[in-house]
Structure 1
Amino acid sequence: MDGSSENTLQDGKLYREVNSLIVAHLRDNNLTQAASAVASATMTPLNVEAPPNKLLELVAKGIAAEKDEVLRGTSSSPLYDLGASMPVAYGSVPAQRTSGVDFSAVQVTKGSSKAFPKHETRHLSEHKNIARCARFSPDGKFVATGSADTSIKLFEVAKIKQMLLSDAKDGPVRPVIRTFYDHTQPINDLDFHPQGTILISGAKDHTIKFFDISKSNAKRAYRVIQDTHNVRSVSFHPSGDFLLAGTDHPIPHLYDINSFQCYLCANIPEVGVNGAINQVRYSSTGGMYVTASKDGSIRLWDGISANCVRSIPGAHGTTEATSASFTKDERFVLSCGKDSSVKLWEVGSGRLVKQYLGATLTQLRCQATFNDTEEFILSIDELNNEIVIWDAMTAEKVAKWPSNHVGAPRWLEHSPVEAAFISCGTDRSIRFWKETL
């Protein structure tokens, strides 16, 4: 076979592979009509086998490779560039994490629920005012809490565990390794850089601040983004080069953390009377992000173009949607609202597939969160001051524990790597919960 024929053969194989990945991607995201059309036009079997999100992973790797060939600029353009194209490196993502549970069958799941393991809990520390938020680092080695007293406490999880095991005779173990003071108003949200030693915070003082947790003497931020609104939520892109800010403005603010240029999407969705964003979270590969709004809506955004691709108006009726986050496989979104419900939505169709009921939540900006394996969902019951746990697949309430806070916790955050979580309270206290072996 000559070189030309061999190239033609290789091109044909490549086209078939690409077509197969496109069909599988559309089919697996429940875009059945589009998948059938492409399959018919390209003579590709509709039931072609391909790993979940393989197309997204390959595109991400390609963009990452292209990024390495482009010299990043340091534009000093205005803060908001409405309709501006996304920076060339935006969308570079790592390979996705493996999901612990196959939620594709969640709507037909029947049978008995799993038992949630017993946990022990310990008071860690107190802020001088309400403890408003908490976040674990991606590797689970650190956890940070933010307060209405404008401070951030950084804990080392290994020292927390040491404290749980220690006796009084061993002397006090201090899990707080640093306290940061640099905001002038209450802190709303935190996030850790996916690879580096950077912690960011969003606050009511309209700023996002960057703290280097590797420097033991650093108490102040080394970089600051000045936004135009109250910064209610922050989320790093999985590449670490970009971050999203959910603010009192109804559109997420996308920042390049190298140039600090801010981008807004061009297709602004319709919003309610108060479209302020309570929470914004990236998916595990950065292919999408989701917002939960005060107008009760959940909105899905394309992680490459930053356009709103799906709105679920009234996801929590006329009450606020207080949190929203993706499952690890990016196919479902878990939301929480002030209608006392936790809900699981299918990303591809926007369809509600599960409701988790039985916990009163009408006042606090709390969130519902998966445990590390996605087998269980945790939230709070304000009325009874309890932590409530559901089996994620059956939606059965499997446990309810006294929170041990004076008043219901304001925030729960589960470790991404182990059976442990943090609760923060209006009583200013921070508690660590760990599975008992």
Structure 2
Amino acid sequence: MENSNSEQTVQDGKLYRHLNSLIVAHLRHNNLIQAASSVASATMTPLNVEAPPNRLLELLSKGLAAEKDDVSRGTSSSPFHDLGGSLPLPRPSATVIDFSSLPDLKGPSKSFPKHETRHLSEHKNVARCARFSPDGRFVATGSADTSIKLFEVSKIKQMLLPDAKDGPVRSVVKTYYDHIQPVNDLDFHPQGTILVSGAKDQSIKFFDISKANAKRSYRVIQDTHNVRSVSFHPSGNFLLAGTDHAIPHLYDINTFQCYLSANVPDVNPNGAINQVRYSCTGSMYVTASKDGAIRLWDGITANCVRSITAAHGTVEATSAIFTKDQRFVLSCGKDSTIKLWEVGSGRLVKQYLGAMHTQLRCQAIFNETEEFILSIDELNNEIVIWDAMTTEKVAKWPSNHVGAPRWLEHSPVESAFISCGTDRSIRFWKETT
């Protein structure tokens, strides 16, 4: 009996040491160095312990999935069995590219698969923004005509079948009319059936897409500025708003209380925020500003932890998004450059050239595997694609819009994307089989 207890103690000790190592590595990979150092010191764990990025999240995701299976069979007694439904953790099988592993790669680039495109619908004015739901089932578009259109992706695909007739497809689930000025950005709640919009009328509106007949919002946040960008925290409990104000507005969506960071030493008072986006775990968020800067913020303290000033020279930074592993940020600016930055050091890792964008609030986006980057060439009215690793331009396609597209948004789960045009039209692009 004593041997059994002793062996169990040894096994428990190994498990605790492994867990502590994963915690330290997780904090370090997410650039929470002070927290990692504190945990390492308190648990006598080496600060430079090796572990794959997001390994702790992968194990937690698998554990929650297994626990969910147990609950469905009635075998779990855990009081936390609902937790898995509220944690949008990365899928363990998701591909993650380490852009720092081969910084000088000059080998052959990959070929971007051919896509077919269809005209989905038209707004009554410029189509300004789009967003897919996290599961890829829905996509929504917002317009200068103040409306929001919601599409069901499965119905769009039916219209792409070989025997489908050309012309606008009838895949609009519903259209919402509740803003009084142009819609700037959209986002879906991570778990629920909620769509949120930000608009020039200084409001943020919440729509329940599960309500068949609802055409107006059920909740409204009245901000003090033009709301240029919105992004849900992965928990769904908080919402970021990038506005004409230089500091991001953080809202608790249960109380609607607004929080502002007190640590913003170098923010330009005239640096309105073009885009704000959370990382996949919510440990950080990034802003792209009109003053040309990319700023990284701590997702817990809301402190600005790094400013990449003049990231796009003296012109606007128009978009910024995290990679899946949260180690890099992809930004786009009106200097006609797309840049990949290392979060931990702020250094420029890669640059993607060859597409002109100087006028519109242009987006640079990854495809669903992060192997390619897509953006817009305003001068030639083309969609341009680069190999994300080699930085080589591998494709350029006519946009089929009258005038350059204003916005691109890629599905998070499949090889498909949306383009929104100044010609009011919305087009769906899908890989050909």
Regarding TM over 0.5, the answer is yes
Matched, 1:150 2:146: yes
2:292 aligned residue: 296
Amino acid at match of 1:426: T
2:425 aligned residue: 429
1:224 aligned residue: 220
2:237 aligned residue: 241
1:364-388 superposed Cα distances (whole Å, 9 cap, x missing partner): 0011000011100000001111000
Give 5+ residue unaligned stretches, structure 2: 65-78
Residue pair 1:206, 1:228 contacting (<8 A) in 2 also:
yes
Counterparts of residues 322-361 of structure 1 (less than 5 Å): 322-361=318-357
Counterparts of residues 83-94 of structure 1 (less than 5 Å): 93-94=87-88
Taking structure 1 as reference, are residues 300 and 263 closer, same or farther at Cα in structure 2, changes over 3 Å only? same
CA distance in structure 2 between the partners assigned to 1:328 and 1:95 by the alignment: 11
What is the percent sequence identity of the aligned residues?
82
Query: What's the CA shift for 1:357?
Result: 0.3
1:280-339 superposed Cα distances (whole Å, 9 cap, x missing partner): 001111111111011111111111111111111111111100000011111111100001
Counterparts of residues 138-217 of structure 1 (less than 5 Å): 138-165=134-161, 167=163, 174-217=170-213
Amino acid at match of 1:228: T
Query: What's the CA shift for 1:37?
Result: 11
CA distance in structure 2 between the partners assigned to 1:102 and 1:224 by the alignment: 40
1:267 aligned residue: 263
TM-score (structure 1 length as normaliser)? 0.85
CA distance in structure 1 between the partners assigned to 2:218 and 2:276 by the alignment: 24
Taking structure 1 as reference, are residues 380 and 172 closer, same or farther at Cα in structure 2, changes over 3 Å only? closer
Query: What's the CA shift for 1:192?
Result: 0.7
Matched, 1:96 2:97: no
Residue pair 1:334, 1:345 contacting (<8 A) in 2 also:
yes
1:190-210 superposed Cα distances (whole Å, 9 cap, x missing partner): 001111111110000000001
Counterparts of residues 384-423 of structure 1 (less than 5 Å): 384-423=380-419
Give 5+ residue unaligned stretches, structure 1: 63-67, 70-88
2:73 aligned residue: none
Amino acid at match of 1:52: P
Query: What's the CA shift for 1:16?
Result: 3.4
Matched, 1:130 2:126: yes
Aligned equivalent of 1:315, options 311, 314, 323: 311
Query: What's the CA shift for 1:432?
Result: 0.7
Query: What's the CA shift for 1:49?
Result: 3.5
CA distance in structure 2 between the partners assigned to 1:230 and 1:257 by the alignment: 19
Taking structure 1 as reference, are residues 27 and 136 closer, same or farther at Cα in structure 2, changes over 3 Å only? closer
Amino acid at match of 2:361: R
Tell which has more relative contact order, 1 or 2 (C-alpha 8 A, sep 6+). Answer: 1
Between 96-105 and 282-291, report the one with greater CA deviation: 96-105
CA distance in structure 1 between the partners assigned to 2:27 and 2:148 by the alignment: 43
Query: What's the CA shift for 1:276?
Result: 0.8
Query: What's the CA shift for 1:104?
Result: 3.3
CA distance in structure 2 between the partners assigned to 1:367 and 1:177 by the alignment: 26
Secondary structure in structure 1 of the residue aligned to 2:287? strand
CA distance in structure 2 between the partners assigned to 1:240 and 1:345 by the alignment: 27
Secondary structure in structure 2 of the residue aligned to 1:159? helix
Taking structure 1 as reference, are residues 398 and 170 closer, same or farther at Cα in structure 2, changes over 3 Å only? closer
Amino acid at match of 2:98: D
Counterparts of residues 270-285 of structure 1 (less than 5 Å): 270-272=266-268, 274-285=270-281
Residue pair 1:282, 1:290 contacting (<8 A) in 2 also:
yes
Amino acid at match of 2:117: T
Matched, 1:254 2:250: yes
CA distance in structure 1 between the partners assigned to 2:413 and 2:51 by the alignment: 27
Residue pair 1:99, 1:327 contacting (<8 A) in 2 also:
no
Counterparts of residues 16-31 of structure 1 (less than 5 Å): 16-17=17-18, 19-21=20-22, 23-25=24-26, 28=29
Amino acid at match of 1:412: L
2:71 aligned residue: none
Secondary structure in structure 2 of the residue aligned to 1:20? helix
Taking structure 1 as reference, are residues 353 and 265 closer, same or farther at Cα in structure 2, changes over 3 Å only? same
2:68 aligned residue: none
Taking structure 1 as reference, are residues 206 and 373 closer, same or farther at Cα in structure 2, changes over 3 Å only? same
Secondary structure in structure 2 of the residue aligned to 1:104? coil
Amino acid at match of 2:290: K
2:358 aligned residue: 362
Query: What's the CA shift for 1:361?
Result: 0.7
Residue pair 1:138, 1:192 contacting (<8 A) in 2 also:
yes
Between 96-105 and 380-389, report the one with greater CA deviation: 96-105
CA RMSD of aligned residues (A): 3.2
1:49 aligned residue: 50
CA distance in structure 1 between the partners assigned to 2:40 and 2:211 by the alignment: 55
CA distance in structure 2 between the partners assigned to 1:32 and 1:266 by the alignment: 20
Residue pair 1:246, 1:279 contacting (<8 A) in 2 also:
yes
CA distance in structure 1 between the partners assigned to 2:31 and 2:178 by the alignment: 46
